[in-house]
Structure formats: C-alpha cells, structure tokens
Structure 1
Amino acid sequence: MKTWEINRAGYRVTDYWAKASGLKGRDLAIVAFEAVKEFNWISDYEIVKFDLAKPDIMFRVWDLMDCTPFRGKEKKTTSHYFRGIVSGFISKLADKRIVFIETKCIAKGDPYCEFRTERTL
C-alpha cells in the first residue's frame, strides 16, 4: 500500500464517522482515538495540543502497533501507516492538507510515540 493510499484511508473515514456520530473537531478526533484503542492499534493516548485553526496539534500514543515489534531496536521513528492515517483524518477535519511527523517513538526507546503537525500544504 502506498503512503498516499494510507493518507486517503484516514481522509475518507472522517465524513462517515462525522455523520454517524454528529461530532466534529476535537470531539471527533477523540472518537477516532477511542476506535483505534478498540482495534488494539494503541493501548492509550493523550492529546497534548489540538488547534485546527493554526494548525498546532500534538498527541502521544502508547504501544503503537506500527512500532511495538521494533521496541528499542531502531535509531529512527517507524510509524508510517498510523501517521499516514492520522494525517488524512486530521486533514479532512481541518479542511487543509496537514502532515504529521513522529518526534518520539518506542522503536527508538522512548516511552511512547509522539506526533505533531509539521506543515500544511
């Protein structure tokens, strides 16, 4: 699966979840994080910053499925699948193209994976 396809998956699910839940913005993001917990993609999460207008968003996730197999074994961050889905999802929420970078990663020995907005396109 190509990176843009992963991003599109997150982008496309946003409308469905918004319609089904009647939520938007941060509240819809919380629903998404709760869903990925139920899928066992993460064990927990923390939204540190969430400003769609700037955009300035940072969140942390524990035991991310992309990175857990490499826990403490890598020199670089390893989440590309999850990062792509979140980038697409948040891009749709903000109505602008947003790219996230992973600043901390359990694969590098950090206690959690941390993502923040890098830029908008």
Structure 2
Amino acid sequence: MKTWEINRAGYRVTDYWAKASGLKGGDLAIVAFEAVKEFNWISDYEIVKFDLAKPDIMFRVWDLMDCTPFRGKEKKTTSHYFRGIVSGFISKLADKRIVFIETKCIAKGDPYCEFRTERTL
C-alpha cells in the first residue's frame, strides 16, 4: 500500500465518523483515538497538544501495532501505516494538508510512540 493510499484512508473516514457522531475538531479526534484503542491498535493514548488552527499537535500512543513487533530492536521509528492514517484524518479535520513525524518509538526503546506535526502543505 502506498503512502498516499494510507493517508487517504484516514482522510475518508473523517466524514463518516463526523456524520455518525455529530462531532468535529478535537472531540472527533478523541473519538478516533478511542476507536483505534478498541481496535487494539494501541493500548492507550495521551493528547499533549491539539491546536488545529496553527496547527500544533502532539500525541503519544502506547503499544502501537506498527511498532510492537520491533520493540527495542530498531534504530529508527517504524510507524508508517498509523502515521499516514492520522495525517489524513487530521488533515481533513484542519482542512489543510498536515504531515506528522514520529519523534519517539517503542521500536527504538522509547516507552511510547510520539507524533507531532511536522509541516503543512
């Protein structure tokens, strides 16, 4: 699966969840994190910063499915699938193209995976 397809998956699910829940912005982001927790993609999460206007967003997730198989074995971050879905989802919420980077990763030995906005396009 190509990166843009992963990003697009996150982008497309935003409208569905917004319509189904009646929520938007940060409230819809919480619904998304709770959903991925229920899917067992993560065990928990923490939203550290969430400002869609700038955008300035940082969050942490524990036991991310992308990275758990590589726990403590890699020198680089390993989440591309989850990062792509989140980038698409948040891009749709903010109505601008947002790219996230993974700054901490359990695959590198960090206690959690951490993502932050890198840039907007």
The TM-score by the shorter chain falls in which range? over 0.9
Q: SS of the residue aligned with 1:77?
A: coil
Aligned equivalents of 1:77, 1:56: Cα separation in 2: 21
Aligned equivalents of 1:99, 1:92: Cα separation in 2: 12
Aligned-residue offset at 1:89: 0.0
Aligned-residue offset at 1:64: 0.0
Residue deviations 1:47-100, cap 9 Å, x none? Answer: 000000000000000000000000000000000000000000000000000000
Aligned-residue offset at 1:108: 0.1
Aligned equivalents of 1:77, 1:99: Cα separation in 2: 15
Q: SS of the residue aligned with 1:41?
A: coil
Aligned equivalents of 1:9, 1:95: Cα separation in 2: 15
Q: SS of the residue aligned with 2:12?
A: helix
Aligned-residue offset at 1:18: 0.2
Q: SS of the residue aligned with 2:64?
A: coil
Aligned equivalents of 1:51, 1:86: Cα separation in 2: 15
Aligned-residue offset at 1:46: 0.1
Aligned equivalents of 2:4, 2:24: Cα separation in 1: 23
Normalising by structure 2, we get a TM-score of 1.00
Aligned equivalents of 2:52, 2:37: Cα separation in 1: 23
Aligned-residue offset at 1:44: 0.1
Aligned-residue offset at 1:8: 0.1
Aligned equivalents of 2:87, 2:7: Cα separation in 1: 6
Aligned-residue offset at 1:24: 0.3
Aligned equivalents of 1:63, 1:97: Cα separation in 2: 27
Q: SS of the residue aligned with 2:4?
A: helix
Aligned-residue offset at 1:120: 0.1
Give the 5 Å matches for 1:13-52. Answer: 13-52=13-52
Q: SS of the residue aligned with 1:100?
A: strand
Q: SS of the residue aligned with 1:74?
A: coil
Structure 1: runs of 5+ lacking an equivalent: none
